[in-house]
Amino acid sequence: MIETVRNEPLILNSTSIPLFNSLVFPAGSYSETYSAPFVPRAHWLQLLSAFEAIGAVELKKYHERAKQMRHEDGATINPFDDPSQRTTSWDLDLVPLTISAAEWGEIEGGLIERATLLEKVLADLYGPQHLLKSGQLPAELVFANPNFLNCCHNIEPPANRFLTFYTADLYRAEDGRFRVFRDYASNPGGLGYALENRIVMSRLFSDLYHKTQILRLAPFFQSFQHAIIGRSALVEEDPGIVLLSPGPDSPIYFEHALLSRYLGYPLVEAQDLTVRNGKVFLKKLDGLEPVEAIFRHISDLNSDPFALRRATGSGVAGLVQVCRENNIDVVNPIGSGFVDTPALPVFLPSLARHLLGKDLKLQNHPAWWCGSKEQLAYVHANLGQLTLSSAFDRHTAIDQSCDQGALINTSPASYMASAPIRPAAVPVWDHRGAGCSYSMLRVFVCATAEGFTVMPGGLAIIAADIETLASNCPERQQSKDIWVLSEKPVETFSLMEAYQSVGEFKRSSDLPSRVADHLLWLGRYLERAEGLIRLLRSIFRRISGEDRPEDIPELMFLLQILQARNIVAAPQNDGRETPQFKELHSSLNNALYQRSQGDSVVSILNQVQQAARKVRDRLSTDSFRIINHLEDLAVSPSYDPLEFLDETLFALSAFSGLAMESMTRSLGWRFMDMGRRIERAVNQIKLISIALPQVLSNSRNTLEALLEVSDSTMTYRSRYRSAFQLAPVLDLLLADENNPKSLAFQFSRLADHVEHMPRQSERRFAYSEERIALKMLTAVRLLDLAGVQYGEENTQNESLVSFLQSMSAYLKEFAQEVTGHYLTRIPATPHFTMINNDLPL
Amino acid sequence: MRYKITHRTGYNYSAPASLSQNELFLRPRETVFQKVIESHLTITPEPQYQHSRTDYFGNSVDVFMVQHPHNELAVTATSLIETTVPITPIPGGTASWEDVAGRLALHNQPDDLLACQFVFASPMVTVGSGALSYAGPSFLSGTPVLVGAVDLMRRIFTEYLYDKTASNVETTVDMVLINRKGVCQDFAHLAISCLRSLGLAARYVSGYLETIPPPGKPKLVGSDASHAWVSLFIPDCGWVDFDPTNNQLANERYITLAWGRDYGDVAPVKGVVMGGGSHRLSVTVDVAAKNI
């Protein structure tokens, strides 16, 4: 129970004008905007009048635009792949939270002071432990606390900085003063969302944003970057800094990708890193590259399975050992999660007097630790008004219905209690119009050579009720941009250039094997989707006309392709009869929309999207927008199949075009294109193999359909200007290296790609994939189609069949070799000796 | 007594392992009753990276990495140790367990504070109501702390079945309490959990025990094993080691390697290997008494 004061419903009124004046803010909460009813605070005047000037009608459009922008940027990606729950983390609200220069100055000073204190506590805890020995820090808070990692004791972090990135949640109490609700060091979220909110807001309210003196965020990121470089002996031109993310399963993966692109640090997952000779390396296609600093977005306990947690596979085995050797700057140092200990703030006031010689400017949210006798007595006496929680772990839930007094007594030191929180109220603007919510500020502080610097702004977290606000689930909360007003003109510079450019990093070969693998599969899925859509489109075009299915001779051929790919079931009869119109329709509809069917259009689009999400930091913002648009198409497909197919094909072509255009011709591009070529070649061989018996029995319609699904009709017409004939069609589809859809073209691209792969051996054709590519290319170049004729009994015809078979086998082998050579990720297994061979005496 | 200990750990991999990192707690530590004369470590293949340190609990730790493909890995630790008979307080003369728990809660003496780190639950030793109620009959009100510990040890020895098949590295205290069987580390974890549930400080000791062959039979080389037991903190006396697996207080035939909060802190060999397929582990320990 968080709320004891009655939580009055927030009154909404969207029709009255002016916009926010009619809002009734909850009693007992500080109102950020108004000093009294209808009397706005001075630092809100400019914003409020700007909003009035825009007006309710326009604001509705702004709201839609903001949603659209965030969606296009990928911030609304649903992490759980459940289309029914399109929840997004920290949805953006239009009304920024404005803070005056004077008030921000106080917050800033208070945060720097607190970060300084917390860093001193960490330095002592992981060093001499005077605070523990003198009783300033209770023994329980250290020894019973899973956030204290004894394996990190005596590790000296670079430049002796124990806290390099500090995050806090602040709320404004009824008296108008800010208080600290939570401290974070281990793995705070929100930095990327704060940045995204600023990007969207400054675009959306570009006029207002540039007229108002709002402190910019970019200088903070620059300080962060300079500090990392300053601490380590990094080369400024080409620093080995990576951003370590848990991967796309994280609900806030979007922010990892955004920060990675904005800061220019490669986005890596733990499996991309390896430890050798006491140093960390990034596993790339062309070998190992040293890493000097890690901006980690994984928690302490997930950092190193070797040193910290035996069972989990996550983390970089040996990372703590590298820290011991002082060979890496981890932001924050592993073990700093001690700062997250919920009961720690209880001791900060006395620690501040002891270590800083003064009282803290920013007060804590009132809380009591049950490990102390006096505080325990207070908690017992006031249990009804307090919220009980774990003293050590923010995520441990306490059954609020049990006998709490008895629960505390089982282990008093493990519990704490806090007063109800009464955060400030702010106006919001959402799809219903004006409203009001409770708010909290997530603020970010980073270490600099001189001490600390605070990001001027941050993420205002808001929620309609206090319980949601105090919870830790971004999916249920919304957010605002924080505008810190400046009395002086603001410096305007940005790191946006780096953000806008394509997601290939400075180092051209900067490609982890994992990313290459995903890019290869993205290429394959894209091609697979395109191929299937072309095929289905040809079918739908035919059956949506006047003709009965049995009057369309090539329909059998087209359906056979679908059957060969297991997309529609093989007919009950021997396949000679055309299926009934009705059953045809239902199975084709399944081929389009059936989500559970692995090869339907919708599920291939889903695979495209998943693969794209895994490499989103490698794709340009524009191409990722198309991926998000594809998601919309797949989630709510148009009911007219042809329309759906056309739209999707259009989006796919746009994506391919953009991806090809905007990706530099680097390794990443090569892997994606290689995937595409492999898939297209496989598909082409299949198409021709299925068509061959029919075209040889002189079915011109099949020949025409074959050209059509191979997307080569136009090329044929422009080249031959004649009726469809067997030999020219086969030549165009198989051997014509100038036709981008021909087998020969795919083979020649593959040969080119493997030649440009990173290599240890200088000798050409040293690798088997090179040899296979050459074999395929030579075979298709030597292919003699002159003797292929109508009629089934013909040696030339037979040799074409066996050619197709052997190419199919080669392709399979080729794909395996490439995967084996460049992409194999070897699983790691922990091992332990067991003491189970001892004998009792 | 003087002992020569040879502890060999071997891994055979079904496929080449490309990278192997390991942490070893194989160097015996100095104690009041134990002197380390020499201690060697041999690793094949030769590691590319090696590092030694003293951990948070004062144990010697060796870390190494083999960074090229290998099919087998062998670690041999040889030590020459001299032990003396530990001085153990008379159980009936020790302070009541309530007094000991009270002093630990106050921990205003440096030694008491140090012992405090072994009072709380640790990753492999949970402390819950199950352990508390099992400990109850041994620790009636006013029972001298060592009398209670000896009784707890006797009960675990008589009520629990020694069973190698009942245990693995993930076995929890609660599973041991339910199944009533396990191996030495399970019994040690159980005893530690019981003692900590009362607010006492108990640590996990990893080491060896010299085995005595049946009468008339020669001692077989390699028949010894790693062993684990419990150490209880008694203020003003120090730490007293006892062995629930064999129902006895530690004597001069007990050789201490390392101690920590539980097995996880001091596993003799632990590591992570990349690749390697499945592995076969073989461990042989030889504790040979030497005449001085």
A781 SS3 class: helix
How far is the C-alpha of A208 from the C-alpha of A210, rounded, in Å?
5
Name the helix (H) or strand (E) containing B73.
Answer: strand B70-83
* Residues B160 and B273 both lie in one domain: no
State both tokens at A59. Answer: 């604001």
CA quadruple A453, A454, A455, A461: dihedral, nearest 10: 160
pLDDT in tens, A456-493: 999 999 999 999 998 888 888 999 999 999 888 776 66
State both tokens at A344. Answer: 């720690």
Residues of B in contact with A321 (CB under 8 A): 21, 51, 63
How far is the C-alpha of A303 from the C-alpha of A315, rounded, in Å?
4
Of the two residues A625 and B84, the one the predictor is more confident about is B84
Residues of B in contact with A834 (CB under 8 A): 167-169
What number is the average pLDDT over the span A214-232? 89
pLDDT in tens, A659-697: 767 666 678 888 899 999 999 999 999 999 988 888 887
Q: Does residue A549 contact residue A555 with C-beta atoms inside 8 Å?
A: yes
Q: Does residue A532 contact residue A567 with C-beta atoms inside 8 Å?
A: yes
User: How many degrees, rounded to 5, is the angle at CA A485 between CA A481 and CA A490?
Assistant: 105
pLDDT in tens, A126-154: 999 999 999 999 999 999 999 999 999 99
Residues of A in contact with B108 (CB under 8 A): 135
What is the model's pLDDT at position A502? 32
* Residues B192 and B275 both lie in one domain: no
What is the model's pLDDT at position B263? 92
Which of B46, B50, B55, B63 to mutate: most A Cβ within 10 Å?
A: B63
Given an 8 Å threshold on Cβ–Cβ distance, is A841 in contact with B116?
no
Q: Does residue A652 contact residue A536 with C-beta atoms inside 8 Å?
A: no
A634 SS3 class: helix
How far is the C-alpha of A834 from the C-alpha of A687, rounded, in Å?
57
* Residues B200 and B229 both lie in one domain: yes
* Residues B189 and B131 both lie in one domain: yes
Q: How many CB atoms lie within 10 A of CB A172?
A: 24
Domain-embedded: residue B130: yes
What is the model's pLDDT at position A830? 58
B113 SS3 class: helix
The residues spanned by each domain of chain A are 91-366+438-500, 513-823
A240 φ/ψ angles, rounded to the nearest 5 degrees: -85, 70
Confidence band of A236 (pLDDT split at 50, 70, 90): low
Chain B contacts in chain A segment 319-338 (CB below 8 A): 321, 324-325
Residue A699's Cβ-side half-sphere holds a number of Cα atoms within 13 Å equal to 21
Residue A11 has pLDDT above 50, yes or no: no
| Rg (alpha carbons) of chain A, rounded to whole number | 32
What is the model's pLDDT at position A576? 52
State both tokens at A278. Answer: 């006491």
Residue A572 has pLDDT above 60, yes or no: no
Q: Does residue B202 contact residue B244 with C-beta atoms inside 8 Å?
A: no
**A826 to chain B, minimum CA–CA distance in Å?**
6
Partnered with residue A183 across adjacent β-strands are A168
Residues of B in contact with A149 (CB under 8 A): none
Of the two residues A410 and A455, the one the predictor is more confident about is A455
User: How many degrees, rounded to 5, is the angle at CA B272 between CA B268 and CA B275?
Assistant: 135
Q: Does residue A630 contact residue A609 with C-beta atoms inside 8 Å?
A: yes
What is the model's pLDDT at position A578? 59
How far is the C-alpha of A120 from the C-alpha of A220, rounded, in Å?
23
The percentage of residues in chain A with a pLDDT greater than 90, rounded to a whole number, is 38
Domain-embedded: residue B45: yes
Q: What total number of domains does chain B contain? A: 2
* Residues B113 and B42 both lie in one domain: no
Average pLDDT, chain A: 83
What is the model's pLDDT at position A825? 52
φ/ψ region of A91 (left if φ > 0, alpha if ψ in -120 to 50, else beta) reads: beta
Place of tokens 């394509």: A502
Q: Does residue A223 contact residue A115 with C-beta atoms inside 8 Å?
A: no
How far is the C-alpha of A638 from the C-alpha of B287, rounded, in Å?
78
A512 SS3 class: strand
Given an 8 Å threshold on Cβ–Cβ distance, is B225 in contact with A835?
yes
Q: How many CB pairs under 8 A join A and B?
A: 133
Q: How many residues does chain B have?
A: 292
DSSP class of residue A21 equals T
SS (H, E, C) A441-506: EEEEEEEECCEEEECCCCEEEEECCHHHHHCCCHHHCEEEEEEEECCCCCCCCCCHHHHHCCCCCC
A807 SS3 class: helix
Partner-chain residue, chosen from B113, B121, B168, that has the shortest CB–CB distance to A834: B168
Domain-embedded: residue B260: no
Here the CATH number for the domain that contains residue B272 is: 2.60.40.2250
- Report whether the peptide linkage leading into residue A332 is cis, meaning its omega lies within 30 degrees of zero: yes
Domain-embedded: residue B169: yes
Given an 8 Å threshold on Cβ–Cβ distance, is A835 in contact with B185?
yes
* Residues B171 and B249 both lie in one domain: yes
Partner-chain residue, chosen from A133, A828, A839, that has the shortest CB–CB distance to B113: A133
Residue B122 has pLDDT above 60, yes or no: yes
What number is the average pLDDT over the span A339-347? 96
Place of tokens 């144990």: B59
What number is the average pLDDT over the span A112-118? 97
Q: How many CB atoms lie within 10 A of CB A535?
A: 24
Let me know how many helices (H) and strands (E) chain B has, helices first.
7, 14
* Residues B118 and B36 both lie in one domain: no
* Domain that residue B60 falls in: 2-84+267-290
What number is the average pLDDT over the span B120-124? 91
Of the two residues A30 and A568, the one the predictor is more confident about is A30
How far is the C-alpha of A588 from the C-alpha of A456, rounded, in Å?
56
How far is the C-alpha of A105 from the C-alpha of A199, rounded, in Å?
24
pLDDT in tens, B50-104: 999 999 999 999 999 998 888 899 999 999 999 999 999 999 999 999 999 999 9
Residue A363 has pLDDT above 70, yes or no: yes
Q: Which of A613, A635, A636 is nearest to A624 (CA)?
A: A613
How far is the C-alpha of A512 from the C-alpha of A272, rounded, in Å?
6
A834 touches chain B (CB under 8 A): yes
A830 touches chain B (CB under 8 A): yes
What is the model's pLDDT at position A507? 40
Q: How many CB atoms lie within 10 A of CB A701?
A: 17
Q: How many CB atoms lie within 10 A of CB A784?
A: 11
How far is the C-alpha of A194 from the C-alpha of A214, rounded, in Å?
14
What is the model's pLDDT at position A398? 83
Residue A581 has pLDDT above 90, yes or no: no
Chain B contacts in chain A segment 392-431 (CB below 8 A): 410
Here the CATH number for the domain that contains residue B130 is: 3.10.620.30
Average pLDDT, chain B: 91
Q: Which of A23, A16, A4 is nearest to A437 (CA)?
A: A23
Residue B241 has pLDDT above 90, yes or no: yes
Partnered with residue A387 across adjacent β-strands are A418
What is the model's pLDDT at position B166? 76
Chain A residue with the nearest C-alpha to that of B244: A840
* Residues B169 and B61 both lie in one domain: no
Domain-embedded: residue B261: no
How far is the C-alpha of B98 from the C-alpha of A21, rounded, in Å?
65
Q: Does residue B241 contact residue B249 with C-beta atoms inside 8 Å?
A: yes
Domain-embedded: residue B129: yes
How far is the C-alpha of A293 from the C-alpha of A330, rounded, in Å?
6
pLDDT in tens, A436-462: 999 999 999 999 999 999 999 999 999
B149 SS3 class: helix
- Sign for the CA dihedral angle at A454, A455, A457, A459 comes to negative
How far is the C-alpha of A411 from the C-alpha of A417, rounded, in Å?
14
A40 φ/ψ angles, rounded to the nearest 5 degrees: -70, 150
Domain-embedded: residue B98: yes
How far is the C-alpha of A185 from the C-alpha of A299, rounded, in Å?
9
Chain B contacts in chain A segment 741-800 (CB below 8 A): none
Residue A573 has pLDDT above 70, yes or no: no
Q: How many CB atoms lie within 10 A of CB A185?
A: 28
Residues of A in contact with B65 (CB under 8 A): 275-277, 318
Residues of B in contact with A317 (CB under 8 A): 21, 272
State both tokens at A484. Answer: 């810190």
What is the model's pLDDT at position B96? 96
* Residues B52 and B6 both lie in one domain: yes
What is the model's pLDDT at position A79? 45
- Helices A513-543 and A555-564 pack at an angle, to 10 degrees, of 150
Residues of B in contact with A402 (CB under 8 A): none
Which of B129, B193, B272, B282 to mutate: most A Cβ within 10 Å?
A: B272
pLDDT in tens, A121-130: 999 999 999 9
Strands, DSSP E only, in A140-220? 165-172, 178-184
Place of tokens 């600093």: A293
Q: How many CB atoms lie within 10 A of CB B163?
A: 14
Residues of A in contact with B107 (CB under 8 A): 139
Partner-chain residue, chosen from A135, A318, A826, that has the shortest CB–CB distance to B21: A318
A803 φ/ψ angles, rounded to the nearest 5 degrees: -60, -45
What number is the average pLDDT over the span B208-230? 81
How far is the C-alpha of A40 from the C-alpha of A30, rounded, in Å?
13
Which of A149, A396, A831, A841 to mutate: most B Cβ within 10 Å?
A: A831
Partner-chain residue, chosen from B184, B272, B283, that has the shortest CB–CB distance to A317: B272
* Residues B114 and B189 both lie in one domain: yes
* Residues B134 and B54 both lie in one domain: no
How far is the C-alpha of A538 from the C-alpha of A556, rounded, in Å?
12
Q: Which of B81, B8, B44 is nearest to B268 (CA)?
A: B8
Place of tokens 């109501």: B129
How does strand B226-234 pair with strand B238-243?
antiparallel
Residue A575 has pLDDT above 60, yes or no: no
How far is the C-alpha of B140 from the C-alpha of B148, rounded, in Å?
8
The CA–CA distances, whole Å, from A345 to A338, A360, A706 equal 11, 11, 72
**B91 to chain A, minimum CA–CA distance in Å?**
23
What is the model's pLDDT at position A760? 58
Given an 8 Å threshold on Cβ–Cβ distance, is B246 in contact with A310?
no
